[in-house]
Amino acid sequence: MDKYVIDRGGNRDLALYSHAPKSYKEFDGLPPVSSSDAHMRWHPLRREWIGHASARQGRTFLPNQADCPLCVMTHNDKPSDIPVDDYEIAIFTNRFSALSLGAETPPEMEIDTTSGIGCCDVISYSADHNASLASLSIERIALLIEAIGERITTIYQNDDIIWSLPFENRGREIGVTLDHPHGQIYSLSVLPNAVKTQADAMAEDAPLTGLSETIDDELVLDRADSALAYVPRWARYPFETWVMPNRAMDGPHQLTAKEIKDLAHMIKAAASRLDGVFDAPMPYTLAWQIAPKGYEGKFHFHLTFQPLKRGRNKQKYLASVEQISGLFLVDLPPERAARILRGEEAGDE
Ligand SMILES: [Zn+2]
Protein backbone atom coordinates (compact mmCIF):
# COMPACT_ATOMS: atom_id res chain seq x y z
CA MET A 1 0.00 0.00 0.00
CA ASP A 2 1.23 3.51 -0.80
CA LYS A 3 0.32 6.54 1.34
CA TYR A 4 0.64 10.12 0.10
CA VAL A 5 0.13 12.86 2.68
CA ILE A 6 -0.83 16.45 1.91
CA ASP A 7 -0.06 18.68 4.90
CA ARG A 8 -2.90 21.14 5.36
CA GLY A 9 -1.84 22.37 8.81
CA GLY A 10 -3.74 22.28 12.10
CA ASN A 11 -4.32 18.51 12.36
CA ARG A 12 -5.93 18.57 8.93
CA ASP A 13 -3.65 16.18 7.04
CA LEU A 14 -5.14 14.55 3.99
CA ALA A 15 -3.87 10.99 3.38
CA LEU A 16 -4.35 9.40 -0.03
CA TYR A 17 -3.98 5.62 -0.18
CA SER A 18 -3.34 3.56 -3.30
CA HIS A 19 -2.07 0.07 -4.11
CA ALA A 20 0.80 1.39 -6.23
CA PRO A 21 2.54 4.79 -5.94
CA LYS A 22 0.42 7.39 -7.70
CA SER A 23 1.05 11.02 -8.67
CA TYR A 24 -1.57 13.63 -7.89
CA LYS A 25 -2.28 17.03 -9.35
CA GLU A 26 -3.01 19.27 -6.36
CA PHE A 27 -5.33 22.27 -6.29
CA ASP A 28 -5.72 25.05 -3.78
CA GLY A 29 -9.31 24.50 -2.86
CA LEU A 30 -9.52 23.75 0.83
CA PRO A 31 -12.72 25.08 2.44
CA PRO A 32 -12.45 26.89 5.80
CA VAL A 33 -12.80 24.90 9.00
CA SER A 34 -15.43 25.76 11.58
CA SER A 35 -14.21 26.45 15.11
CA SER A 36 -14.68 23.66 17.64
CA ASP A 37 -16.55 24.15 20.89
CA ALA A 38 -16.52 20.41 21.61
CA HIS A 39 -17.06 19.37 25.20
CA MET A 40 -18.82 16.63 27.15
CA ARG A 41 -21.38 16.75 29.95
CA TRP A 42 -21.93 13.98 32.50
CA HIS A 43 -25.34 12.30 32.70
CA PRO A 44 -25.68 11.57 36.42
CA LEU A 45 -28.30 8.82 36.00
CA ARG A 46 -26.99 6.99 32.96
CA ARG A 47 -23.45 7.50 34.25
CA GLU A 48 -22.12 8.35 30.84
CA TRP A 49 -20.80 11.30 28.84
CA ILE A 50 -22.91 13.30 26.38
CA GLY A 51 -20.96 14.93 23.52
CA HIS A 52 -21.68 18.54 22.58
CA ALA A 53 -20.54 20.13 19.31
CA SER A 54 -22.67 22.98 18.03
CA ALA A 55 -20.26 23.58 15.12
CA ARG A 56 -21.83 20.53 13.46
CA GLN A 57 -25.11 22.40 12.94
CA GLY A 58 -23.50 24.17 9.97
CA ARG A 59 -22.22 21.06 8.19
CA THR A 60 -22.73 20.52 4.46
CA PHE A 61 -26.24 19.16 3.91
CA LEU A 62 -27.03 17.02 0.85
CA PRO A 63 -25.20 19.13 -1.77
CA ASN A 64 -25.68 18.54 -5.50
CA GLN A 65 -23.04 16.31 -7.07
CA ALA A 66 -21.46 19.42 -8.65
CA ASP A 67 -20.79 20.78 -5.15
CA CYS A 68 -19.83 17.47 -3.53
CA PRO A 69 -16.83 18.03 -1.22
CA LEU A 70 -15.61 14.46 -1.72
CA CYS A 71 -15.49 14.58 -5.52
CA VAL A 72 -12.19 15.38 -7.26
CA MET A 73 -11.20 18.78 -8.61
CA THR A 74 -10.37 19.18 -12.31
CA HIS A 75 -9.52 22.88 -12.18
CA ASN A 76 -9.85 25.63 -9.59
CA ASP A 77 -13.61 25.43 -9.78
CA LYS A 78 -14.99 24.78 -6.32
CA PRO A 79 -13.55 24.08 -2.89
CA SER A 80 -13.14 20.37 -2.11
CA ASP A 81 -12.02 18.46 0.94
CA ILE A 82 -9.95 16.31 -1.43
CA PRO A 83 -8.39 18.93 -3.79
CA VAL A 84 -6.66 16.54 -6.20
CA ASP A 85 -7.49 15.33 -9.71
CA ASP A 86 -7.98 11.65 -8.81
CA TYR A 87 -7.61 9.28 -5.88
CA GLU A 88 -8.44 5.77 -4.69
CA ILE A 89 -9.03 6.12 -0.92
CA ALA A 90 -8.79 9.39 1.04
CA ILE A 91 -8.83 9.92 4.82
CA PHE A 92 -8.84 13.38 6.37
CA THR A 93 -10.03 15.19 9.48
CA ASN A 94 -13.68 16.22 9.35
CA ARG A 95 -14.23 19.97 8.93
CA PHE A 96 -17.24 19.71 11.21
CA SER A 97 -15.74 17.59 13.97
CA ALA A 98 -17.75 16.59 17.00
CA LEU A 99 -14.41 16.12 18.78
CA SER A 100 -11.01 17.77 18.54
CA LEU A 101 -7.49 16.83 19.62
CA GLY A 102 -7.10 20.50 20.54
CA ALA A 103 -10.41 20.77 22.39
CA GLU A 104 -10.48 23.69 24.77
CA THR A 105 -11.25 23.72 28.48
CA PRO A 106 -14.90 22.72 28.97
CA PRO A 107 -17.43 25.18 30.38
CA GLU A 108 -17.91 25.10 34.15
CA MET A 109 -21.33 23.91 35.24
CA GLU A 110 -23.08 22.39 38.26
CA ILE A 111 -22.62 18.98 36.59
CA ASP A 112 -19.27 17.43 35.60
CA THR A 113 -17.89 18.47 32.22
CA THR A 114 -14.81 17.42 30.28
CA SER A 115 -13.05 18.48 27.09
CA GLY A 116 -14.29 16.95 23.85
CA ILE A 117 -10.87 15.50 23.11
CA GLY A 118 -10.88 13.15 20.18
CA CYS A 119 -10.70 13.04 16.44
CA CYS A 120 -13.24 12.69 13.64
CA ASP A 121 -11.99 11.48 10.27
CA VAL A 122 -13.78 11.11 6.96
CA ILE A 123 -12.91 8.14 4.71
CA SER A 124 -13.85 8.48 1.06
CA TYR A 125 -14.08 5.03 -0.53
CA SER A 126 -13.69 6.17 -4.13
CA ALA A 127 -13.51 9.18 -6.44
CA ASP A 128 -16.70 7.80 -8.02
CA HIS A 129 -19.65 9.73 -6.55
CA ASN A 130 -22.06 6.89 -7.33
CA ALA A 131 -20.05 3.95 -6.00
CA SER A 132 -21.06 1.88 -2.96
CA LEU A 133 -19.47 -0.76 -0.78
CA ALA A 134 -21.20 -3.41 -2.92
CA SER A 135 -19.95 -1.91 -6.21
CA LEU A 136 -16.30 -1.47 -5.16
CA SER A 137 -13.78 -4.01 -6.46
CA ILE A 138 -12.28 -6.58 -4.08
CA GLU A 139 -8.95 -4.79 -4.52
CA ARG A 140 -10.47 -1.46 -3.46
CA ILE A 141 -12.15 -2.97 -0.38
CA ALA A 142 -8.82 -4.62 0.51
CA LEU A 143 -7.18 -1.19 0.23
CA LEU A 144 -9.92 0.27 2.44
CA ILE A 145 -9.21 -2.38 5.10
CA GLU A 146 -5.48 -1.61 4.96
CA ALA A 147 -6.02 2.16 5.03
CA ILE A 148 -8.30 1.95 8.07
CA GLY A 149 -5.78 -0.33 9.80
CA GLU A 150 -2.98 2.15 9.10
CA ARG A 151 -5.04 5.12 10.34
CA ILE A 152 -6.06 3.33 13.55
CA THR A 153 -2.44 2.40 14.27
CA THR A 154 -1.47 6.07 13.91
CA ILE A 155 -4.35 7.38 16.03
CA TYR A 156 -3.71 4.86 18.82
CA GLN A 157 -0.23 6.33 19.24
CA ASN A 158 -1.94 9.37 20.77
CA ASP A 159 -2.11 8.85 24.55
CA ASP A 160 -5.40 10.77 24.78
CA ILE A 161 -7.21 8.29 22.53
CA ILE A 162 -8.66 5.15 24.13
CA TRP A 163 -10.85 3.74 21.34
CA SER A 164 -11.64 4.26 17.66
CA LEU A 165 -14.83 3.45 15.80
CA PRO A 166 -14.66 3.30 12.01
CA PHE A 167 -18.24 3.35 10.72
CA GLU A 168 -20.48 4.12 7.79
CA ASN A 169 -23.90 5.74 7.78
CA ARG A 170 -25.47 4.61 4.52
CA GLY A 171 -28.63 6.11 3.04
CA ARG A 172 -30.66 9.25 3.59
CA GLU A 173 -33.03 7.21 5.79
CA ILE A 174 -30.15 6.98 8.29
CA GLY A 175 -29.49 10.70 8.08
CA VAL A 176 -26.44 10.94 5.82
CA THR A 177 -25.66 14.49 4.72
CA LEU A 178 -23.40 13.50 1.78
CA ASP A 179 -24.38 10.93 -0.85
CA HIS A 180 -20.76 10.29 -1.92
CA PRO A 181 -19.71 6.81 -0.67
CA HIS A 182 -17.81 7.36 2.53
CA GLY A 183 -17.30 6.28 6.10
CA GLN A 184 -15.93 7.99 9.18
CA ILE A 185 -13.68 7.24 12.14
CA TYR A 186 -14.51 8.62 15.58
CA SER A 187 -11.63 8.32 18.03
CA LEU A 188 -12.57 8.97 21.65
CA SER A 189 -10.83 9.80 24.92
CA VAL A 190 -13.63 8.14 26.90
CA LEU A 191 -14.99 4.58 26.59
CA PRO A 192 -18.80 4.45 26.17
CA ASN A 193 -20.57 1.98 28.48
CA ALA A 194 -21.89 -0.21 25.68
CA VAL A 195 -18.41 -0.55 24.18
CA LYS A 196 -16.91 -1.48 27.55
CA THR A 197 -19.63 -4.10 28.11
CA GLN A 198 -18.88 -5.72 24.74
CA ALA A 199 -15.13 -5.63 25.28
CA ASP A 200 -15.51 -7.16 28.77
CA ALA A 201 -17.69 -9.93 27.28
CA MET A 202 -15.00 -10.67 24.69
CA ALA A 203 -12.28 -10.75 27.33
CA GLU A 204 -14.24 -12.99 29.71
CA ASP A 205 -16.35 -15.27 27.46
CA ALA A 206 -14.78 -15.01 23.95
CA PRO A 207 -18.18 -15.70 22.30
CA LEU A 208 -16.82 -15.30 18.76
CA THR A 209 -13.81 -17.60 19.20
CA GLY A 210 -14.27 -20.81 17.23
CA LEU A 211 -17.67 -19.62 15.98
CA SER A 212 -16.67 -20.19 12.35
CA GLU A 213 -16.52 -23.94 13.15
CA THR A 214 -19.53 -24.26 15.43
CA ILE A 215 -22.03 -21.91 13.77
CA ASP A 216 -25.25 -23.49 12.48
CA ASP A 217 -25.32 -23.50 8.66
CA GLU A 218 -28.78 -21.87 8.69
CA LEU A 219 -27.11 -18.64 9.84
CA VAL A 220 -24.18 -18.63 7.39
CA LEU A 221 -24.28 -16.28 4.40
CA ASP A 222 -20.80 -16.73 2.93
CA ARG A 223 -17.53 -18.38 3.85
CA ALA A 224 -13.92 -17.88 2.79
CA ASP A 225 -10.83 -19.78 4.01
CA SER A 226 -10.22 -17.31 6.83
CA ALA A 227 -13.42 -15.28 7.15
CA LEU A 228 -17.16 -15.62 7.63
CA ALA A 229 -20.33 -13.61 6.94
CA TYR A 230 -23.43 -14.56 8.95
CA VAL A 231 -26.58 -13.45 10.71
CA PRO A 232 -26.07 -13.80 14.47
CA ARG A 233 -28.70 -15.64 16.49
CA TRP A 234 -28.77 -12.55 18.73
CA ALA A 235 -29.43 -10.04 15.90
CA ARG A 236 -31.33 -6.93 17.00
CA TYR A 237 -31.90 -5.33 13.58
CA PRO A 238 -33.69 -6.77 10.52
CA PHE A 239 -31.09 -8.39 8.21
CA GLU A 240 -28.32 -7.66 10.71
CA THR A 241 -25.12 -9.09 9.21
CA TRP A 242 -21.75 -9.75 10.82
CA VAL A 243 -18.47 -10.22 8.97
CA MET A 244 -15.30 -11.36 10.69
CA PRO A 245 -11.96 -13.06 10.30
CA ASN A 246 -12.02 -16.55 11.84
CA ARG A 247 -8.94 -15.70 13.88
CA ALA A 248 -9.30 -13.45 16.93
CA MET A 249 -7.40 -10.16 16.71
CA ASP A 250 -7.55 -6.52 17.86
CA GLY A 251 -8.28 -4.87 14.53
CA PRO A 252 -7.67 -4.74 10.77
CA HIS A 253 -4.00 -3.81 11.26
CA GLN A 254 -3.32 -7.41 12.40
CA LEU A 255 -4.77 -9.12 9.32
CA THR A 256 -2.45 -11.04 7.00
CA ALA A 257 -2.58 -10.33 3.25
CA LYS A 258 -4.65 -13.49 2.73
CA GLU A 259 -7.04 -12.55 5.53
CA ILE A 260 -7.48 -9.04 4.08
CA LYS A 261 -8.47 -10.53 0.73
CA ASP A 262 -10.88 -13.02 2.28
CA LEU A 263 -12.45 -10.33 4.46
CA ALA A 264 -12.83 -8.03 1.43
CA HIS A 265 -14.76 -10.81 -0.35
CA MET A 266 -17.03 -11.24 2.69
CA ILE A 267 -17.68 -7.47 3.01
CA LYS A 268 -18.56 -7.14 -0.67
CA ALA A 269 -20.81 -10.21 -0.52
CA ALA A 270 -22.58 -8.94 2.61
CA ALA A 271 -23.18 -5.46 1.16
CA SER A 272 -24.41 -7.01 -2.11
CA ARG A 273 -26.81 -9.35 -0.31
CA LEU A 274 -28.26 -6.41 1.67
CA ASP A 275 -28.86 -4.41 -1.51
CA GLY A 276 -30.36 -7.53 -3.11
CA VAL A 277 -33.10 -8.03 -0.50
CA PHE A 278 -35.34 -5.34 -2.01
CA ASP A 279 -33.28 -4.67 -5.18
CA ALA A 280 -32.55 -1.22 -3.78
CA PRO A 281 -29.77 0.35 -1.73
CA MET A 282 -30.24 -0.88 1.84
CA PRO A 283 -29.91 1.87 4.46
CA TYR A 284 -27.64 0.73 7.26
CA THR A 285 -25.07 1.67 9.82
CA LEU A 286 -21.83 -0.31 9.64
CA ALA A 287 -19.42 -0.58 12.56
CA TRP A 288 -15.83 -1.84 12.53
CA GLN A 289 -15.56 -3.25 16.06
CA ILE A 290 -11.97 -2.72 17.17
CA ALA A 291 -10.33 -3.42 20.54
CA PRO A 292 -10.24 -0.46 22.94
CA LYS A 293 -6.89 0.18 24.61
CA GLY A 294 -6.44 -2.21 27.53
CA TYR A 295 -8.16 -5.07 25.70
CA GLU A 296 -5.31 -5.99 23.36
CA GLY A 297 -5.08 -9.75 22.80
CA LYS A 298 -8.53 -10.30 24.34
CA PHE A 299 -10.71 -9.15 21.45
CA HIS A 300 -12.22 -10.50 18.22
CA PHE A 301 -12.31 -7.79 15.57
CA HIS A 302 -15.47 -7.92 13.44
CA LEU A 303 -17.81 -5.75 11.36
CA THR A 304 -21.52 -5.37 12.02
CA PHE A 305 -24.13 -4.09 9.56
CA GLN A 306 -27.27 -2.69 11.24
CA PRO A 307 -29.85 -2.34 8.42
CA LEU A 308 -32.95 -0.24 8.97
CA LYS A 309 -35.49 -1.78 6.59
CA ARG A 310 -37.71 -4.68 7.59
CA GLY A 311 -39.89 -4.63 4.45
CA ARG A 312 -39.68 -3.04 1.01
CA ASN A 313 -41.73 -0.10 2.28
CA LYS A 314 -41.25 -0.57 6.01
CA GLN A 315 -38.55 1.02 8.05
CA LYS A 316 -37.36 -0.24 11.41
CA TYR A 317 -37.62 2.58 13.93
CA LEU A 318 -36.14 2.58 17.38
CA ALA A 319 -39.20 3.65 19.34
CA SER A 320 -40.06 3.87 23.02
CA VAL A 321 -38.99 0.49 24.37
CA GLU A 322 -35.71 0.38 22.41
CA GLN A 323 -34.86 4.03 23.08
CA ILE A 324 -35.78 4.07 26.74
CA SER A 325 -34.80 0.62 27.98
CA GLY A 326 -32.39 -0.71 25.37
CA LEU A 327 -34.60 -3.82 25.02
CA PHE A 328 -34.85 -4.53 21.29
CA LEU A 329 -38.02 -6.00 19.85
CA VAL A 330 -37.34 -8.17 16.79
CA ASP A 331 -40.12 -8.95 14.32
CA LEU A 332 -38.01 -10.55 11.59
CA PRO A 333 -36.38 -13.70 13.04
CA PRO A 334 -32.64 -13.85 12.26
CA GLU A 335 -33.03 -17.37 10.85
CA ARG A 336 -35.59 -16.12 8.29
CA ALA A 337 -33.46 -13.04 7.57
CA ALA A 338 -30.58 -15.37 6.66
CA ARG A 339 -32.80 -17.29 4.21
CA ILE A 340 -33.94 -14.02 2.59
CA LEU A 341 -30.36 -12.72 2.37
CA ARG A 342 -29.30 -15.99 0.70
CA GLY A 343 -32.10 -15.53 -1.84
CA GLU A 344 -34.01 -18.65 -0.71
CA GLU A 345 -37.08 -16.68 0.30
CA ALA A 346 -38.54 -13.28 -0.68
CA GLY A 347 -38.54 -10.33 1.71
CA ASP A 348 -41.80 -8.74 2.85
CA GLU A 349 -43.44 -5.86 0.99
ZN1 LIG B 1 -19.03 13.20 -4.74
The secondary structure of 139-163 as a DSSP string is HHHHHHHHHHHHHHHHHTTSTT--E
Does residue 282 contact residue 307 with C-beta atoms inside 8 Å? yes
pLDDT, tens only, 186-215 = 999 999 999 999 999 999 999 999 999 999
Q: How far is the CA of 129 from the centre of ligand 1 (A)?
A: 4
Q: Cα separation of 176 and 77, whole Å?
A: 25
Q: Cα separation of 91 and 147, whole Å?
A: 8
Q: How far is the CA of 83 from the centre of ligand 1 (A)?
A: 12
* Domains contained in the chain, CATH given: 1-190 (3.30.428.10), 193-349 (3.30.428.10)
Does residue 217 contact residue 204 with C-beta atoms inside 8 Å? no
Q: How far is the CA of 54 from the centre of ligand 1 (A)?
A: 25
Q: How far is the CA of 177 from the centre of ligand 1 (A)?
A: 12
pLDDT, tens only, 169-188 = 999 888 888 899 999 999 99
Above 70 in pLDDT, residue 32? Answer: no
Nearest by Cα to 301 from 253, 241, 258, 237:
253
Q: How far is the CA of 183 from the centre of ligand 1 (A)?
A: 13
Model confidence at 99, pLDDT cuts 50, 70, 90, reads confident
Q: How far is the CA of 91 from the centre of ligand 1 (A)?
A: 14
Which residues, at least 6 apart from 205, have a Cβ–Cβ distance to it below 8 Å? none
Amino acid found at 82: I
Does residue 300 contact residue 293 with C-beta atoms inside 8 Å? no
Q: How far is the CA of 182 from the centre of ligand 1 (A)?
A: 9
Q: How far is the CA of 271 from the centre of ligand 1 (A)?
A: 20
Q: How far is the CA of 92 from the centre of ligand 1 (A)?
A: 15
pLDDT, tens only, 125-162 = 999 999 999 999 999 999 999 999 999 999 999 999 99
Residue 76 burial (CB < 10 Å; 0-12/13-18/19+)?
Answer: exposed
Amino acid found at 343: G
CA angle 117/122/123 to nearest 5° reads 135
Q: How far is the CA of 85 from the centre of ligand 1 (A)?
A: 13
Question: What was the pLDDT predicted at 175?
Answer: 81
Q: How far is the CA of 196 from the centre of ligand 1 (A)?
A: 36
Q: How far is the CA of 69 from the centre of ligand 1 (A)?
A: 6
Q: How far is the CA of 64 from the centre of ligand 1 (A)?
A: 9
Helix (H) or strand (E) holding 188: strand 182-188
Q: How far is the CA of 253 from the centre of ligand 1 (A)?
A: 28
Residue 281 DSSP symbol: P
Q: How far is the CA of 218 from the centre of ligand 1 (A)?
A: 39
Question: What was the pLDDT predicted at 341?
Answer: 98
